[in-house]
Amino acid sequence: MEWICSSCNIPMENVSDIKMIYGEVDLPPGVGYRCPSCGLEFLDGDYVVNELNPAEQMLEGK
């Protein structure tokens, strides 16, 4: 599936270097999509569900 930037109307790039911070903690770079023109970023849904959600629950002690 190809993601298109809604602002620039061009294909977004697959990236694995999205900077993330949780509270005051720098997290490892995230996986997702970035517009090569405006820099708009989105995290990949599977990455969020399978990796970030469990990590967040662990950090929160839930």
pLDDT tens track of the chain, all 62 residues? 799 999 999 999 999 999 998 888 888 999 999 999 999 999 999 999 998 888 777 777 75
Helix, strand counts (H, E) of the chain: 2, 3
User: Which pLDDT does position 29 carry in this prediction?
Assistant: 94
How far, in Å, CA of 62 to CA of 37, rounded?
A: 39
Q: What are phi and psi of 32, to 5 degrees?
A: 180, -140
- Please tell me whether residue 51 adopts helix, strand or coil conformation: helix
User: Which pLDDT does position 56 carry in this prediction?
Assistant: 78
Question: pTM, whole model, 2 decimals?
Answer: 0.80
